[in-house]
Amino acid sequence: MFANRMFNTVVPVISVLLGLIAGAIIMLGFGYNPIKGYAALLDGAFGNAYFFGETIRQVTPYILTGLAVAFAFRAGLFNIGAEGQVIVGWLAAVWVGTTIEAPMIIHLPIALIVAALAGGLWGFVPGLLKAKLGVHEVIITIMMNYIALYLSNHLIRNVLTDKQDTTDRVAESASLASNWLMELTSYSRLHWGILVALVAAAFMWFLLEKTTTGFELRSVGYNRHASEYAGMKVGKNIILAMVISGGFAGLAGAMEGLGTFGYMPTHAAFTNIGFDGIAVALLGGNAALGTVIAAFLFGILKIGALNMPTGAGVPGELVEIVIALIIFFVASSYIIRWVLLRFKKEGN
Protein backbone atom coordinates (compact mmCIF):
# COMPACT_ATOMS: atom_id res chain seq x y z
CA MET A 1 0.00 0.00 0.00
CA PHE A 2 1.09 3.53 -0.68
CA ALA A 3 1.41 5.68 2.36
CA ASN A 4 -1.06 8.54 2.48
CA ARG A 5 1.70 11.12 2.56
CA MET A 6 3.17 9.72 -0.61
CA PHE A 7 -0.21 9.93 -2.35
CA ASN A 8 -0.44 13.55 -1.35
CA THR A 9 2.72 14.34 -3.31
CA VAL A 10 2.24 11.88 -6.15
CA VAL A 11 -1.31 12.91 -7.06
CA PRO A 12 -0.55 16.61 -7.72
CA VAL A 13 2.55 15.73 -9.74
CA ILE A 14 0.58 13.26 -11.87
CA SER A 15 -2.21 15.82 -12.27
CA VAL A 16 0.20 18.45 -13.55
CA LEU A 17 1.78 15.97 -15.94
CA LEU A 18 -1.62 14.86 -17.25
CA GLY A 19 -2.65 18.50 -17.66
CA LEU A 20 0.50 19.31 -19.62
CA ILE A 21 0.12 16.18 -21.76
CA ALA A 22 -3.49 17.15 -22.52
CA GLY A 23 -2.26 20.62 -23.47
CA ALA A 24 0.31 19.03 -25.80
CA ILE A 25 -2.40 16.88 -27.42
CA ILE A 26 -4.54 19.97 -28.00
CA MET A 27 -1.56 21.75 -29.57
CA LEU A 28 -0.94 18.74 -31.82
CA GLY A 29 -4.63 18.65 -32.73
CA PHE A 30 -4.49 22.24 -33.94
CA GLY A 31 -1.29 21.68 -35.86
CA TYR A 32 1.17 23.30 -33.46
CA ASN A 33 4.44 21.84 -32.28
CA PRO A 34 3.95 21.15 -28.56
CA ILE A 35 7.68 21.09 -27.83
CA LYS A 36 8.06 24.53 -29.40
CA GLY A 37 4.96 25.67 -27.52
CA TYR A 38 6.22 24.62 -24.12
CA ALA A 39 9.73 25.88 -24.92
CA ALA A 40 8.20 29.29 -25.66
CA LEU A 41 6.33 29.06 -22.36
CA LEU A 42 9.47 28.33 -20.37
CA ASP A 43 11.35 31.03 -22.24
CA GLY A 44 8.54 33.47 -21.43
CA ALA A 45 8.80 32.67 -17.74
CA PHE A 46 12.59 32.50 -17.31
CA GLY A 47 14.10 33.62 -20.63
CA ASN A 48 15.47 36.92 -19.35
CA ALA A 49 15.55 39.05 -16.22
CA TYR A 50 12.38 40.93 -17.16
CA PHE A 51 10.32 37.77 -17.67
CA PHE A 52 11.71 36.29 -14.47
CA GLY A 53 10.77 39.41 -12.52
CA GLU A 54 7.26 39.36 -13.93
CA THR A 55 6.90 35.67 -13.03
CA ILE A 56 7.84 36.32 -9.40
CA ARG A 57 5.51 39.33 -9.42
CA GLN A 58 2.63 37.09 -10.53
CA VAL A 59 3.54 34.41 -8.01
CA THR A 60 3.23 36.88 -5.12
CA PRO A 61 -0.57 37.33 -5.04
CA TYR A 62 -1.05 33.67 -6.02
CA ILE A 63 0.77 32.54 -2.89
CA LEU A 64 -1.50 34.71 -0.76
CA THR A 65 -4.82 33.76 -2.37
CA GLY A 66 -3.67 30.16 -2.40
CA LEU A 67 -2.99 30.40 1.34
CA ALA A 68 -6.41 32.00 1.82
CA VAL A 69 -8.26 29.15 0.15
CA ALA A 70 -5.99 26.51 1.70
CA PHE A 71 -6.40 27.90 5.21
CA ALA A 72 -10.19 27.79 4.97
CA PHE A 73 -10.02 24.29 3.51
CA ARG A 74 -8.03 23.07 6.49
CA ALA A 75 -10.88 24.18 8.75
CA GLY A 76 -13.37 22.41 6.47
CA LEU A 77 -14.55 25.55 4.68
CA PHE A 78 -14.54 26.45 0.99
CA ASN A 79 -13.70 30.10 0.51
CA ILE A 80 -14.69 30.94 -3.07
CA GLY A 81 -14.81 34.52 -1.81
CA ALA A 82 -11.05 35.09 -2.05
CA GLU A 83 -11.78 37.08 -5.19
CA GLY A 84 -13.99 39.58 -3.38
CA GLN A 85 -11.56 39.70 -0.46
CA VAL A 86 -8.74 40.56 -2.88
CA ILE A 87 -10.80 43.44 -4.24
CA VAL A 88 -11.68 44.93 -0.85
CA GLY A 89 -8.08 44.44 0.33
CA TRP A 90 -6.81 46.20 -2.77
CA LEU A 91 -9.23 49.06 -2.25
CA ALA A 92 -8.42 49.38 1.45
CA ALA A 93 -4.67 49.37 0.81
CA VAL A 94 -4.94 52.03 -1.87
CA TRP A 95 -7.30 54.06 0.29
CA VAL A 96 -4.76 54.13 3.13
CA GLY A 97 -1.92 54.61 0.68
CA THR A 98 -3.45 57.66 -0.96
CA THR A 99 -5.07 59.47 1.95
CA ILE A 100 -2.71 59.13 4.91
CA GLU A 101 0.66 60.81 5.26
CA ALA A 102 3.19 59.07 7.49
CA PRO A 103 6.77 57.82 7.40
CA MET A 104 7.19 54.49 5.62
CA ILE A 105 7.84 52.49 8.77
CA ILE A 106 4.29 53.33 9.91
CA HIS A 107 2.49 53.93 6.62
CA LEU A 108 3.32 50.69 4.82
CA PRO A 109 2.47 48.37 7.75
CA ILE A 110 -0.78 50.23 8.34
CA ALA A 111 -1.74 49.91 4.68
CA LEU A 112 -1.00 46.17 4.77
CA ILE A 113 -2.85 45.64 8.05
CA VAL A 114 -5.91 47.58 6.90
CA ALA A 115 -5.97 45.55 3.68
CA ALA A 116 -5.85 42.32 5.70
CA LEU A 117 -8.58 43.62 8.00
CA ALA A 118 -10.79 44.54 5.05
CA GLY A 119 -10.34 41.07 3.57
CA GLY A 120 -10.93 39.62 7.03
CA LEU A 121 -14.19 41.55 7.33
CA TRP A 122 -15.29 40.18 3.95
CA GLY A 123 -14.55 36.70 5.31
CA PHE A 124 -16.21 37.42 8.63
CA VAL A 125 -19.70 37.77 7.15
CA PRO A 126 -19.87 34.28 5.59
CA GLY A 127 -18.04 32.88 8.65
CA LEU A 128 -20.61 34.37 11.00
CA LEU A 129 -23.55 33.16 8.92
CA LYS A 130 -22.02 29.69 8.73
CA ALA A 131 -21.29 29.51 12.46
CA LYS A 132 -24.57 30.96 13.75
CA LEU A 133 -27.11 29.93 11.12
CA GLY A 134 -25.45 27.07 9.29
CA VAL A 135 -25.67 28.86 5.92
CA HIS A 136 -23.39 27.34 3.29
CA GLU A 137 -20.32 29.55 2.89
CA VAL A 138 -19.93 28.88 -0.84
CA ILE A 139 -23.04 30.78 -1.89
CA ILE A 140 -22.49 33.64 0.56
CA THR A 141 -18.90 34.12 -0.56
CA ILE A 142 -19.96 34.14 -4.23
CA MET A 143 -22.49 36.86 -3.43
CA MET A 144 -19.88 38.78 -1.39
CA ASN A 145 -17.62 38.70 -4.48
CA TYR A 146 -20.14 40.61 -6.54
CA ILE A 147 -20.90 43.05 -3.74
CA ALA A 148 -17.15 43.73 -3.42
CA LEU A 149 -16.75 44.23 -7.17
CA TYR A 150 -19.61 46.68 -7.62
CA LEU A 151 -19.11 48.44 -4.30
CA SER A 152 -15.41 49.05 -4.95
CA ASN A 153 -16.16 50.44 -8.43
CA HIS A 154 -18.74 52.71 -6.89
CA LEU A 155 -16.35 53.90 -4.17
CA ILE A 156 -13.52 54.52 -6.64
CA ARG A 157 -15.77 56.60 -8.89
CA ASN A 158 -17.65 58.52 -6.22
CA VAL A 159 -15.62 58.62 -3.02
CA LEU A 160 -11.92 58.13 -3.75
CA THR A 161 -12.03 60.18 -6.94
CA ASP A 162 -14.39 62.54 -8.67
CA LYS A 163 -15.91 60.32 -11.38
CA GLN A 164 -12.51 58.93 -12.42
CA ASP A 165 -11.82 55.33 -13.41
CA THR A 166 -8.57 54.99 -11.50
CA THR A 167 -7.45 56.19 -8.09
CA ASP A 168 -4.39 58.34 -7.51
CA ARG A 169 -1.08 56.57 -7.03
CA VAL A 170 -0.27 55.53 -3.48
CA ALA A 171 2.34 57.61 -1.64
CA GLU A 172 5.98 56.54 -1.84
CA SER A 173 5.85 55.77 1.87
CA ALA A 174 3.16 53.11 1.33
CA SER A 175 4.64 51.58 -1.81
CA LEU A 176 6.15 48.11 -2.04
CA ALA A 177 7.78 48.97 -5.35
CA SER A 178 11.57 49.08 -5.36
CA ASN A 179 13.85 50.71 -7.89
CA TRP A 180 16.59 48.29 -7.01
CA LEU A 181 14.43 45.24 -7.78
CA MET A 182 13.14 46.87 -10.96
CA GLU A 183 16.62 47.66 -12.22
CA LEU A 184 17.76 44.17 -11.33
CA THR A 185 15.03 42.70 -13.56
CA SER A 186 15.19 45.09 -16.57
CA TYR A 187 12.25 47.14 -15.29
CA SER A 188 9.71 44.45 -14.57
CA ARG A 189 7.09 45.27 -11.95
CA LEU A 190 8.74 43.06 -9.33
CA HIS A 191 8.25 44.43 -5.81
CA TRP A 192 8.96 43.53 -2.19
CA GLY A 193 5.60 41.82 -1.82
CA ILE A 194 7.14 38.41 -2.43
CA LEU A 195 8.70 38.68 1.04
CA VAL A 196 5.30 39.47 2.55
CA ALA A 197 3.86 36.42 0.79
CA LEU A 198 6.61 34.11 2.01
CA VAL A 199 6.29 35.41 5.57
CA ALA A 200 2.54 34.82 5.34
CA ALA A 201 3.18 31.23 4.24
CA ALA A 202 5.52 30.69 7.18
CA PHE A 203 2.91 32.24 9.46
CA MET A 204 0.23 29.85 8.22
CA TRP A 205 2.49 26.83 8.70
CA PHE A 206 3.39 27.92 12.22
CA LEU A 207 -0.20 28.74 13.18
CA LEU A 208 -1.65 25.50 11.88
CA GLU A 209 1.06 23.08 12.91
CA LYS A 210 2.57 24.56 16.07
CA THR A 211 -0.18 26.31 18.04
CA THR A 212 -3.26 25.20 19.95
CA THR A 213 -5.42 27.49 17.83
CA GLY A 214 -4.18 25.76 14.72
CA PHE A 215 -4.83 22.36 16.22
CA GLU A 216 -8.40 23.37 16.98
CA LEU A 217 -8.91 24.75 13.46
CA ARG A 218 -7.66 21.54 11.87
CA SER A 219 -9.67 19.46 14.28
CA VAL A 220 -12.85 21.34 13.35
CA GLY A 221 -11.95 20.71 9.72
CA TYR A 222 -11.58 16.98 10.26
CA ASN A 223 -14.66 16.40 12.36
CA ARG A 224 -16.92 19.14 13.56
CA HIS A 225 -18.91 16.99 15.96
CA ALA A 226 -15.95 15.31 17.59
CA SER A 227 -14.38 18.73 18.13
CA GLU A 228 -17.53 19.94 19.79
CA TYR A 229 -17.61 16.93 22.13
CA ALA A 230 -13.98 17.62 22.95
CA GLY A 231 -15.05 21.02 24.17
CA MET A 232 -13.88 23.19 21.32
CA LYS A 233 -16.00 26.11 20.25
CA VAL A 234 -16.79 25.14 16.67
CA GLY A 235 -18.54 28.40 15.79
CA LYS A 236 -15.65 30.52 17.03
CA ASN A 237 -13.18 28.46 15.02
CA ILE A 238 -15.24 28.70 11.83
CA ILE A 239 -15.40 32.49 12.12
CA LEU A 240 -11.69 32.69 12.95
CA ALA A 241 -10.78 30.52 9.97
CA MET A 242 -12.79 32.68 7.58
CA VAL A 243 -11.38 35.91 8.99
CA ILE A 244 -7.77 34.73 8.71
CA SER A 245 -8.47 33.31 5.26
CA GLY A 246 -9.97 36.64 4.21
CA GLY A 247 -6.95 38.40 5.70
CA PHE A 248 -4.57 36.47 3.43
CA ALA A 249 -6.68 37.33 0.40
CA GLY A 250 -6.87 40.96 1.48
CA LEU A 251 -3.06 41.02 1.57
CA ALA A 252 -3.03 39.64 -1.97
CA GLY A 253 -5.09 42.69 -2.95
CA ALA A 254 -2.56 44.91 -1.18
CA MET A 255 0.20 43.34 -3.32
CA GLU A 256 -1.57 44.63 -6.42
CA GLY A 257 -2.48 47.98 -4.90
CA LEU A 258 0.82 48.81 -3.22
CA GLY A 259 3.17 46.83 -5.43
CA THR A 260 2.28 45.82 -8.97
CA PHE A 261 0.01 48.72 -9.92
CA GLY A 262 0.39 51.31 -7.18
CA TYR A 263 -3.22 52.37 -7.71
CA MET A 264 -6.62 50.73 -8.22
CA PRO A 265 -8.60 50.88 -11.45
CA THR A 266 -12.32 50.17 -11.62
CA HIS A 267 -12.90 46.59 -12.68
CA ALA A 268 -15.41 45.58 -15.34
CA ALA A 269 -14.88 41.94 -14.37
CA PHE A 270 -13.13 39.97 -11.66
CA THR A 271 -9.34 40.04 -11.31
CA ASN A 272 -9.29 36.20 -11.22
CA ILE A 273 -6.45 36.29 -8.68
CA GLY A 274 -8.83 34.90 -6.08
CA PHE A 275 -10.32 32.25 -8.33
CA ASP A 276 -6.87 31.13 -9.43
CA GLY A 277 -6.08 30.82 -5.72
CA ILE A 278 -8.53 27.91 -5.59
CA ALA A 279 -6.46 26.07 -8.18
CA VAL A 280 -3.24 26.94 -6.34
CA ALA A 281 -4.54 25.67 -2.99
CA LEU A 282 -5.95 22.46 -4.45
CA LEU A 283 -2.74 21.63 -6.24
CA GLY A 284 -0.71 22.55 -3.17
CA GLY A 285 -2.62 20.04 -1.06
CA ASN A 286 -3.79 22.89 1.22
CA ALA A 287 -0.43 23.02 2.97
CA ALA A 288 1.73 26.14 3.26
CA LEU A 289 4.78 24.79 1.42
CA GLY A 290 2.68 23.04 -1.22
CA THR A 291 0.79 26.26 -1.85
CA VAL A 292 4.02 28.19 -2.42
CA ILE A 293 5.23 25.57 -4.89
CA ALA A 294 1.88 25.49 -6.69
CA ALA A 295 1.81 29.30 -6.83
CA PHE A 296 5.19 29.23 -8.58
CA LEU A 297 3.90 26.69 -11.08
CA PHE A 298 0.80 28.72 -11.91
CA GLY A 299 2.79 31.95 -12.04
CA ILE A 300 5.17 30.35 -14.53
CA LEU A 301 2.26 29.02 -16.62
CA LYS A 302 0.41 32.36 -16.65
CA ILE A 303 3.39 34.60 -17.43
CA GLY A 304 4.98 32.06 -19.76
CA ALA A 305 1.72 31.87 -21.70
CA LEU A 306 2.12 35.51 -22.70
CA ASN A 307 5.14 34.51 -24.79
CA MET A 308 3.44 31.58 -26.52
CA PRO A 309 1.78 33.58 -29.35
CA THR A 310 5.05 35.30 -30.35
CA GLY A 311 7.35 32.38 -29.50
CA ALA A 312 5.38 29.55 -31.10
CA GLY A 313 2.20 31.05 -32.59
CA VAL A 314 0.08 29.23 -30.01
CA PRO A 315 -2.78 31.22 -28.39
CA GLY A 316 -1.80 31.75 -24.75
CA GLU A 317 -5.33 30.83 -23.67
CA LEU A 318 -4.22 27.23 -24.03
CA VAL A 319 -2.77 27.57 -20.55
CA GLU A 320 -6.24 28.28 -19.12
CA ILE A 321 -7.36 24.92 -20.47
CA VAL A 322 -4.29 23.22 -18.99
CA ILE A 323 -4.98 24.77 -15.58
CA ALA A 324 -8.65 23.74 -15.70
CA LEU A 325 -7.64 20.18 -16.52
CA ILE A 326 -5.10 20.12 -13.69
CA ILE A 327 -7.86 21.09 -11.26
CA PHE A 328 -10.03 18.33 -12.67
CA PHE A 329 -7.35 15.72 -12.19
CA VAL A 330 -6.62 16.88 -8.65
CA ALA A 331 -10.34 16.90 -7.85
CA SER A 332 -10.73 13.43 -9.27
CA SER A 333 -7.76 12.14 -7.30
CA TYR A 334 -9.93 9.21 -6.25
CA ILE A 335 -9.54 7.76 -9.73
CA ILE A 336 -5.80 8.44 -9.84
CA ARG A 337 -5.40 6.62 -6.52
CA TRP A 338 -7.51 3.78 -7.83
CA VAL A 339 -5.36 3.41 -10.95
CA LEU A 340 -2.14 3.62 -8.90
CA LEU A 341 -3.35 0.92 -6.54
CA ARG A 342 -4.27 -1.24 -9.52
CA PHE A 343 -0.75 -0.97 -10.91
CA LYS A 344 0.70 -1.67 -7.50
CA LYS A 345 -1.37 -4.83 -7.11
CA GLU A 346 -0.47 -6.11 -10.55
CA GLY A 347 3.19 -5.48 -9.83
CA ASN A 348 3.08 -7.74 -6.77
Partner 1 sequence: MLDVLQSIIPIALFYSAPLIFTALGGVFSERSGVVNIGLEGLMVMGAFVGIVFNLAFADVFGTATPWVSILVAMVVSAIFSVIHAVASVTFRADQVVSGVAINFLALGLGVFLTKQWYGKGQTDMVSQPFYSKNIPLLSDIPIIGPIFFQKVYVTSYIAILAAIVVWFVLYKTSFGLRLRSVGEHPMAADTNGINVYSMRYVAVILSGALGGLGGSVFALTIALNFSQSTIVGQGFMSLAAVIFGKWHPLGAMGAALFFGFAQSLSVIGAGVPFLADVPKIYLTIAPYVLTIFALAGFIGRAEAPKANGQPYIKGSR
Q: Which is nearer to partner 1, 61 or 126 (CB)?
A: 126
Radius of gyration of the chain measured on its C-alpha atoms: 21
SS3 content of the chain, % helix, strand, coil (to 5): 80, 0, 20
Give the CA-trace dihedral at 260, 261, 267, 270, to 10 degrees. 0
Q: Which is nearer to partner 1, 34 or 53 (CB)?
A: 34
Measured CA to CA, the distance from residue 315 to residue 298 in angstroms comes to 17
Nearest to 86 by CA among 107, 68, 70, 108: 68
Q: Could you tell me the smallest distance in angstroms from the CB atom of residue 57 to partner 1?
A: 22
Q: Could you tell me the smallest distance in angstroms from the CB atom of residue 191 to partner 1?
A: 27
Q: Could you tell me the smallest distance in angstroms from the CB atom of residue 103 to partner 1?
A: 36
Residues forming contacts to partner 1 in the complex (CB under 8 A) are: 26, 30, 78, 80, 125, 129, 133, 135-136, 138-140, 142-144, 146-147, 150-151, 154, 268-270, 275, 278-279, 282, 315, 317-321, 323-325, 327-328, 330-335
What 3-state DSSP class applies to 177? strand
Q: Which is nearer to partner 1, 40 or 194 (CB)?
A: 40
Q: Could you tell me the smallest distance in angstroms from the CB atom of residue 138 to partner 1?
A: 6
Q: Residues 11, 335: contact at Cβ < 8 Å?
A: no
What does each C-alpha distance from 280 to 39, 136, 195, 276, 285 come to in angstroms? 23, 22, 18, 6, 9
Q: Could you tell me the smallest distance in angstroms from the CB atom of residue 27 to partner 1?
A: 11
Q: Which is nearer to partner 1, 128 or 182 (CB)?
A: 128
Q: Which is nearer to partner 1, 154 or 344 (CB)?
A: 154
